[in-house]
Amino acid sequence: MPDSPAVTEAARRRTFAVISHPDAGKSTLTEALALHARVINEAGHIHGKAGRKSTVSDWMDIEKARGISISSAALQFAYGDSVVNLVDTPGHADFSEDTYRVLAAVDSAVMLVDAAKGMEPQTLKQFEVCRHRRIPVLTVINKWDRPGHEALQLMDEVHAKTGLKPSPLTWPVGIAGDFRGVLDRRTGVMIQFTRTAGGATLAHQKVLNPDEALAAHGDAWLTAVEESELLSADGADLDLEAYLDHRATPVLFGSAVLNFGVSQLLDTLLELAPAPGAREDVVGERRAVDAPFSGFVFKIQAGMDSAHRDRLAYIRVCSGVFERGSVVTHAASKKPFATKYAQQVFGQDRQTVDVAYPGDVVGLVNASMLRVGDSLYVDSAVTFPPIPSFAPEHFAVVRSTDSGRYKQFRRGIEQLEQEGVVQVLRSDRRGDQAPVLAAVGPMQFEVATHRMKGEMGAEITLDRLPYSLARRTTREWVQQLDAQSGVECLLRDTDGQWLALFADVWRLGRTQRDVPDAVLEPLVASADL
Ligand code: G4P
């Protein structure tokens, strides 16, 4: 029997995200990948730094002002016979919650490392999410055209900081800043690279056999060969199983700005990275890719630009074929959901999606009943595991500055909560007019304020609360915990969970001593990942 379309299509797909510290070159790499696949004819279209056209993923004023990317979108392009889905991750520390959600939607990750900076804090934090989710990681050492660390030193650092054994697939010929090309360690040839003006076209590369490489590059070639032999002796050759099992990371060297190493990256993703496969549901059963359609919401976003003031729920397709117009079931409510408006979105560019396959990302427009983590299916029911909320560490009471706009205020807060911009906590004592916003990082508050004013037409004030720790508790302990000084219990909107808030570890310790039987369980903290 021939394979079903879902199986065939899943097999030729690769869905991945790039994890990196801001400025490592993620936007440049995205642009280079798209250029390579010839999606975008004019280089610079995606890049969003000052003086250029706006980055497809940089859509909010606040982002533009800071030059960072907060929002997420997915870029899909064909490459040869394959289809690549690049899911954009937010770059800022405060958005680790968002990163967590995005990484729930990919099958592998590319860790982009600046050759001059090595493993930076944000890269590591996002890497921890990959480790936690057991997402295979490919490493790209970027900016090799500029002076940087030694290649062997970088390998040691990657190993020490991630615990993954680096297995370089290519090895640079010439030190950082004197980039001649790479030695393809599996075939022994040199891929020589020639600069093109501005890097706006595909990099010129030429394959040299070892004799030609020696004649052209002398000592630089010999050093690369020697170092490559050292790596082999050290067991650093490719081990596919170790990569998939999160014990090793294949490594490539390149320069995104010069488009060098980009074709190797695409080829490597197709060769090594896992295609969408069966996915475990909440009870541990695996939903095969050829089962009827299923997917889950990993991101909700509204107000992407003034021309499209709407709300998009991004779905990762897990099994079957998504057909626009079909009616799917919303697992949480068991209600039918009509998928009439389905789009592929990358920044301002939107296209209607008629069919999508496992691994694809679809944006459902105005899907107001959907929340992050929700599952959708056709025929046989499935619920995928929830995407955990992080332990909030910042808390503030939110109020509308204009009591006449209470309706807008309430609706706005509800929307931000559903999108996962902030968590919303409530208690009878505080009342509905003044709920508490909770965040992993304070920048989430800035985004909330900005969006409440700009999109929801409701200006707010925020009064910070002196808490920094949250623990999960249960209804029966609320009264007793509230009676402790410096402790407050609030109910979280998203999951109906009671949280007990404490000023610091010392208060928590004292409460544990004074109310020894109280349920006080830790939540997933970003620091634990
Ligand atoms: P990000 O999305 O990870 O934050 O980084 P982005 O691509 O915006 O790149 C950050 C800076 O690094 C940019 O320079 C970009 O040109 C540069 N860059 C990216 N890849 C390479 C590379 O392979 N080699 C070199 N030499 N530079 C690279 P910028 O000065 O911030 O802006 P601009 O030069 O683009 O105006």
Residue to mutate, 30, 49, 196, ligand 1, most ligand atoms under 8 Å from C-beta: 49
Tally of structural domains, the chain: 3
Which atom of ligand 1 is nearest to 112's Cα? 3
Is 76 inside any structural domain?
no
Which atom of ligand 1 is nearest to 51's Cα? 36
Beta-carbon contacts of residue 95 (< 8 Å; ≥ 6 apart): 70, 441, 443, 444
The structure's pTM equals 0.82
Same domain, 285 and 264: no
Closest residue CA from atom 4 of ligand 1: 23
Beta-carbon contacts of residue 19 (< 8 Å; ≥ 6 apart): 89, 99, 103, 109, 110, 111, 112, 123, 126, 127, 129, 130, 137
Distance 49 CA to ligand 1 centre (A): 9
The H or E element containing residue 159 is helix 151-162
Residue to mutate, 31, 89, 257, 258, ligand 1, most ligand atoms under 8 Å from C-beta: 257
Same domain, 426 and 486: yes
Same domain, 121 and 258: yes
Amino acid 350: pLDDT: 59
DSSP states along 486-504: TEEEEEETTT--EEEEESS
Distance, CA of 175 to chain centre: 31
Identify the domain containing residue 292 by its residue range. Answer: 279-377
Q: Is the C-beta atom of 256 inside 6 A of ligand 1?
A: yes
Q: Considering the chain, what percentage of its residues have pLDDT values greater than 70?
A: 84
CA distance 370 to 376: 9
Among 326, 352, 377, the domain-final residue is 377
Same domain, 192 and 231: yes
Instruction: Name the β-bridge partners of 141.
Output: 113, 253
Distance 31 CA to ligand 1 centre (A): 11
Statement: residue 329 has pLDDT above 90: yes
Q: Which of 421, 324, 313 is nearest to 371 (CA)?
A: 313
In tens, the pLDDT along 27-41 reads: 889 888 877 765 433
In tens, the pLDDT along 410-431 reads: 999 988 887 778 899 999 989 8
- Whether the CB-CB separation of 261 and 284 falls below 8 Å is answered with no
Q: Assign residue 354 the CATH number of its domain.
A: 2.40.30.10
Q: Assign residue 234 the CATH number of its domain.
A: 3.40.50.300
Count the Cβ atoms, other than its own, within 10 Å of residue 43: 18
Same domain, 435 and 370: no
Q: Assign residue 519 the CATH number of its domain.
A: 3.30.70.3280
Closest residue CA from atom 22 of ligand 1: 143
DSSP class of residue 208 equals E
CA distance 423 to 407: 19
Same domain, 127 and 232: yes
Mean local confidence (pLDDT), 361-388: 86
Among 347, 377, 407, the domain-final residue is 377
Amino acid 53: pLDDT: 38
Same domain, 263 and 146: yes
Q: Is 25 helix (H, G, I), strand (E, B) or coil?
A: coil
Same domain, 243 and 133: yes
Same domain, 267 and 122: yes
In tens, the pLDDT along 261-270 reads: 998 999 999 9
Tell me the H-state helices in 426-504: 443-454, 478-482
